[in-house]
């Protein structure tokens, strides 16, 4: 069965109307239908956080959400952060602190960290660790990631 | 990635959802999807239809009334973990909810989904046992209510009958007078299922203890409770040893049977020290 359902949503500020295949994950829809490949696919079982996006302002693992659930919602992906070619503060802080090696975890880390800073503009180390505990970095850049988040918070 | 094939329906009324669940084969309530999506990928579930219950108004109730605190089945674990009344009156449930996965998982995962998935390691189960929570069930033959201890019937199994779904979970009044703690031993100290989970709730005059991941369902540590509540045992170390009578742990990837016997005793002892001052 590959039924499709018509869905309306906004992605990074733009309204869109598309068809989503029932049974397809939001992750696959974002990458293959919207061609926004900044969102990464790692484990596809909720364990790694590489696929983190903001749905109605809240971070979710897009590999555990159905594409059809996007109907009526607002989606923010890593591509939506920069404005007029300028990186946002958190993205710049990741660069300044070399908070990655391969960069595969970075989009998910940044989306999860962004949501943390909205909830708690001045997080301490342990609050950052907790908030990012669902995001794995196989290169082990955790210290630099924490520094980048703190630095961005202080600005 | 294998494309999964099933229907999806977003229900707007409880009776519609019950109707579909009662009439159609292999129709599953779909809440946060954090167990379902993983289970479908691994072949554990093969639904023909997902019935999205997240928007049902009846399942979005979250209020405190004369009966207690009513938590609708669509309420997420993050909502529970930071709710003022829950943090104040029944912090053990806030702790149990907060210990599930990471923040992004808890944005989607529901309390009802956690107990309906019926993992013996479900982190909210042991706290709910010590609070004597009630599960409100809606079904084709009307509504009924069950104590949470009767809801769990085996690993992955519940007392729900065909067509039934959980409408809400009630934490009844009076709320416990004393302190309660939920402690979890896991492999990483970060996002991981419990190797052992222990809830100890002081009720003022007596204590209630429940343990997870050490039997086919979460269980009450009745031998420990009896020693303290009825026989006046004052030593938390002596009382904690008795938990071995109440459990039947197995060896799996998270820990051996022996390790679980050991850890559950340690966590019960610490829980008693923290809550009962014994
Ligand atoms: C990365 C990761 C980490 C996790 N860590 C933990 C952890 O530390 N501790 C822990 O306990 N769990 C953990 N889980 C498991 C999971 O997140 C929880 O069990 C969650 O609470 C399930 O809720 P849900 O709303 O996502 O359920 P769903 O996946 O939507 O549903 C789960 C089951 O319950 C049924 N169901 C859902 N709602 C109802 C209803 N109202 N009535 C009847 N049946 C219903 C579904 O049909 C399905 O069978 C983790 C999962 C992931 C992916
Ligand atoms: S790909 Fe979604 S959490 Fe790993
Ligand atoms: S930078 Fe490589 S996974 Fe994090």
Q: Is the preceding omega at residue A43 within 30 degrees of 0, hence cis?
A: no
Q: ipTM of the predicted structure? A: 0.95
- Closest Cα in chain A to B34: A64
Answer with the one of B122, B151, B172 that is the final residue of a domain. B172
Q: Does B105 touch chain A (CB under 8 A)?
A: yes
Domain co-membership, B197 together with B220: yes
Q: Which residues contact B117 (CB under 8 A, 6 or more apart)?
A: B35, B156
Domain co-membership, B202 together with B160: no
Domain co-membership, B104 together with B166: yes
pLDDT the model gives residue B183: 96
Residue by residue, DSSP assigns A61-125 as EGGGSBGGGGTT-EEE-GGGS-BTTBPPHHHHHHHHTT--SS-SSHHHHHHHHHHHHHH-SS--H
CA-nearest of A67, A53, A140 to A102 is A140
Domain co-membership, B124 together with B107: yes
Domains of chain A by range and CATH? 4-79 (3.10.20.30), 89-154 (1.10.150.120)
The answer to whether residue B1 sits within a structural domain is no
Cross-chain CB nearest to A23 (options B3, B42, B52): B3
pLDDT in tens, B161-187: 999 999 999 999 999 999 999 999 988
pLDDT bucket at A2, cuts 50 / 70 / 90: low
- For chain A, the residues whose C-beta falls within 8 A of a C-beta of chain B are 1-3, 5, 21-25, 28, 44-47, 49, 52, 58-61, 63-66, 68-69, 112, 115-116, 130-135
pLDDT in tens, B24-80: 999 999 999 999 999 999 888 999 999 999 999 999 999 999 999 999 999 999 999
How many domains would you assign to chain B?
Answer: 3
Domain carrying residue B242: 180-276
3-class secondary-structure state, position B68: strand
pTM exceeding the 0.80 threshold for the entire prediction? yes
- Within chain B, residue ranges assigned H as helices are 14-23, 36-41, 77-81, 84-89, 91-98, 103-108, 111-116, 125-130, 148-151, 222-229, 236-241, 257-276
The answer to whether residue B261 sits within a structural domain is yes
pLDDT in tens, A108-127: 999 999 999 999 999 999 99
CA dihedral B204, B207, B213, B217 (to 10 degrees): -100
Nearest CA to ligand 2 atom 3: A46
Which single residue is written with the structure tokens 């070399």?
A: A98
């Amino acid at each position: 069965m590959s039924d499709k359902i018509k869905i309306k949503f906004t992605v990074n500020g733009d309204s869109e109307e598309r068809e989503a295949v029932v049974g397809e994950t939001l992750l696959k829809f974002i990458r293959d239908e919207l061609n926004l490949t900044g969102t990464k696919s790692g484990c596809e079982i909720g364990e790694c956080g590489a696929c983190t996006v903001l749905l109605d302002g809240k971070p979710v693992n897009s590999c555990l959400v159905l594409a059809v659930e996007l109907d009526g919602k607002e989606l923010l992906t890593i591509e939506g952060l920069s404005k007029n070619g300028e990186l946002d503060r958190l993205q710049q802080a990741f660069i300044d602190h070399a908070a990655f090696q391969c960069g595969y975890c970075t989009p998910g880390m940044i989306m999860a960290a962004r949501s943390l800073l909205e909830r708690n503009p001045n997080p301490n180390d342990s609050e950052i660790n907790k908030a990012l505990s669902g995001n794995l970095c196989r290169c082990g850049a955790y210290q630099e990631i924490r520094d980048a988040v703190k630095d961005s918070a202080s600005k | 990635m294998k494309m999964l094939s099933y229907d999806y329906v977003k229900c707007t009324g409880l009776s519609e959802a019950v109707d579909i669940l009662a009439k159609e084969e292999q129709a599953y309530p779909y809440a946060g999807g954090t167990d379902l999506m993983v289970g479908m990928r691994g072949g554990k579930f093969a639904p023909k239809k997902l019935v999205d219950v997240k928007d049902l108004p009846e399942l979005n109730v979250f209020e405190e009334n004369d009966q207690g605190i009513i938590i609708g089945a669509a309420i997420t674990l993050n909502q529970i973990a930071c709710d003022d009344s829950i943090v104040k009156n029944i912090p053990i449930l806030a702790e149990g909810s907060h210990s599930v996965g990471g923040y992004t998982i808890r944005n989607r995962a529901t309390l009802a989904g956690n107990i309906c998935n019926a993992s013996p390691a479900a982190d909210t189960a042991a706290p709910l046992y010590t609070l004597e929570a009630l599960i409100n069930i809606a079904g084709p033959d009307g509504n009924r209510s069950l104590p949470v201890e009767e809801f769990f019937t085996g690993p992955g199994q519940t007392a729900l009958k065909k067509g039934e779904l959980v409408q809400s979970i009630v934490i009844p009044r009076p709320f416990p007078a004393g302190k309660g703690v939920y402690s979890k031993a896991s492999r990483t100290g970060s996002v991981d299922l419990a190797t052992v989970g222990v809830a100890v709730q002081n009720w003022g005059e007596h204590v209630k203890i429940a343990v997870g991941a050490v039997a086919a369902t979460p269980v009450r540590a009745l031998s420990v409770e009896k020693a303290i509540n009825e026989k006046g045992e004052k030593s938390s170390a002596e009382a904690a040893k008795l938990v071995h009578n109440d459990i039947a742990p197995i060896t799996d990837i998270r820990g051996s049977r022996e390790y679980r016997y050991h850890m559950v005793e340690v966590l019960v002892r610490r829980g008693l020290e923290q809550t009962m001052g014994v």
